[in-house]
Structure 1
Amino acid sequence: MAVHAHPDDESSKGAATAARYAAEGAEVLVLTCTGGERGDVLNPAFEVPAGHEFESLAGKRAVRRLEMAAAAQALGVQQHWLGFVDSGLPEGDPLPPLPDDAFARLPLDVAAAPVVEAVRRFRPHVITTYDPSGGYPHPDHIYTHTVSMEAWEAAGDASRYVVGGGAEPWTPLKLYYGHGFSLARLRAVHEAMEGQGLESPFGSWIESRAAREIPERQVTTRVRVDQYFPQRDAALVAHASQIDPDGFFFAVPRDVEADVWPWEEYELAASRVPTHPGEDDLFAGIRGTEAAR
């Protein structure tokens, strides 16, 4: 189960991993906390689909649902909406308050309840989510971390989050934070592109992170996924309102990426099974055990 803040996050963060495990026969579910209603249009070539409008929150939500369905199909995964409203990314100094209906303003028990219910119904062995920073300071990403951790702790406790429908308590076994753009990855790809005389999109990013002395989070697990870059890319393109097919996500030639960085990276944040350093599989310690049944 991959818990994400907005539609398109599942395609830009851990998408090839999801596609790999789905292709290998695992059940993979993407939980999408919000409808992405307050996301800006980031693709200059985007055209609103026929029969839709993109001016209202409801109109944007409907289009983003179409995009999400196409992305999920490209990855071969299941997907479930939690139905919360995008908080938007506040900008300004001082920052404005979040909208009254924002996901990140909800009480924890309200926001986490459907995540707990989804865990109990889907019964995942592994959950992936964001680290405490959210990966970047969007309030929905930070709150997605918070509700994911609450579900990790509460889903197996029958006394907490008593919901209807008969979903029995379920205790997941491993929880990971996904790391999409580690400094090691940025440098490896940057140096490879410069070595081939190509313009790298990462030079200023590396310099900025180094100057700000942003600490690197620990990477415990690298999952090889280069065979699934096509599925990831198809899912990205499906989010036509958010992803520019001529933009940042496609600036690195795929043969260069596959040669120098064929992995997606994760940090094992919690485990209820024995683990070992240098994992290359999110299901390490679970496969072939009684717990996997």
Structure 2
Amino acid sequence: MTDQLRLMAVHAHPDDESSKGAATMAKYVSEGVDVLVATCTGGERGSILNPKLQGDTYIEEHIHEVRAKEMDEAREILGVRQEWLGYVDSGLPEGDPLPPLPDGCFALQDVDEAAGRLVRLIRSFRPQVITTYDENGGYPHPDHIMTHKISMVAFDGAADTAKYPEDEFGPAFQPQKMYYNQGFNRPRTVALHEALLARGLESPYGDWLKRWTEVDRAERTLTTYVPCAEFFEIRDKALIAHATQIDPDGGWFRIPMEIQREVWPTEEYELAKSLVDTSLPEADLFEGIRDNA
């Protein structure tokens, strides 16, 4: 049955696939589902966040090649396939006022044209399910927001032969479901925070929760909870493979694995579009699809 199931995860940069939904992907790979990561940019303008690698001249001068190599390693760990859409990282603008985005970057592309590359990939891979980011990008990085925009256009555009002709983009195909990654949600954060404090342990989430109360941030609707605790270690290993982007000794990895598995053993999603009947809440991204696969 699972031979015909295909999942596409659309992400902005190399490393996003390992921090958002990685355990879910590893779970489905273990079940025989064909999983493809579509990476929109090369992450060329990403900062080196691992303090152990900061100041490394070679990495700074060859960041594109380094991040591509990191992506290769993470892909092997997760067991997924991966394709580049070929756009250039927009960077995260900082300052007041914000500086303009760099010429030619991903976030400045025409949305319909940029979605065309994703349409071509969807028609080739033919996924029943696609995951991406919500309209806020998960956080307001211009590349994440642009990823949302082209994903929404491509979901419908993959079946629209008037807008994306078959002789240029391949035979039409209609995905059945689209989800927004919502792994960084408040209920999960509160549950882990309280569990750590109850055990007399330090929590890395105190500042997160404080910022949540200070910012008027609407709660997202969590519709789908995928059980994948046994794949958390694979998730972490894939993330550490992106060595320029993560400190292996940082707060990301300070929560004991046994607590994570006990307190919050799922990864969460928000069902954004569905062309099949399903019952909420779900425990499977392929709910409503498996019986027809």
- TM-score normalized by structure 2? 0.94
Secondary structure, counterpart of 1:199 in structure 2: coil
Q: How many residues align?
A: 286
Give the equivalent residue in structure 1 for 2:99. 96
Q: Give the AA of the match of 1:14.
A: G
- Trace 1:55-204 onto structure 2 (pairs within 5 A): 55-56=60-61, 59-162=62-165, 167-204=170-207
1:46 CA displacement: 2.5
Take 1:46 and 1:27, find their aligned partners in 2: how far apart are those partners?
34
What amino acid is the match of 2:156?
E
Alpha-carbon distance in 2 for matches of 1:116, 1:83:
14
Partners of 1:269 and 1:60 lie apart in 2 by 34
Higher mean C-alpha deviation, range 210-219 or range 141-150: 210-219
1:26 aligns to 2:26 (yes or no): no
Deviation per residue, 1:201-222 (Å, 9 max, x gap): 0011112102223111000000
Distance 1:193 1:128, change over 3 A: same
Cα offsets for 1:119-169 (capped at 9, x unmatched): 000000000000000000000000000000000111011222236567211
Contact 2:120 2:169 in 1 (8 A): no
Q: Distance in 1 between matches of 2:157 and 2:115?
A: 9
Corresponding position of 1:11: 18
The residue type equivalent to 2:109 in the other structure is L
- Closer, same or farther: CA 115–234 of 1 in aligned 2, 3 Å: same
Could you tell me which amino acid in structure 1 is paired with residue 21 of structure 2?
A: G
- Name the SS for the 1:127 alignment partner: strand
Counterparts of residues 232-251 of structure 1 (less than 5 Å):
232-251=235-254
Shift of 1:47: 7.7
How far off its partner does 1:54 sit? 2.7
Structure 2: segments with no counterpart, 5+ residues: 1-7
In structure 2, the residue corresponding to 1:68 is in which secondary structure? helix
Secondary structure of the 2:271 match is strand
Whether the aligned pair in 1 keeps the contact of 2:23 and 2:228 (CA below 8 Å) is: yes
Give the alignment's Cα RMSD to 1 decimal: 1.5
Determine the structure 1 residue equivalent to 2:5. Answer: none
Provide closer, same or farther for how the CA distance between residues 252 and 286 of structure 1 changes in structure 2, counting only shifts above 3 A.
Answer: same
The percentage of counterpart residues that share the same residue type is 55
CA–CA separation in structure 1 for the residues paired with 2:205 and 2:163: 45
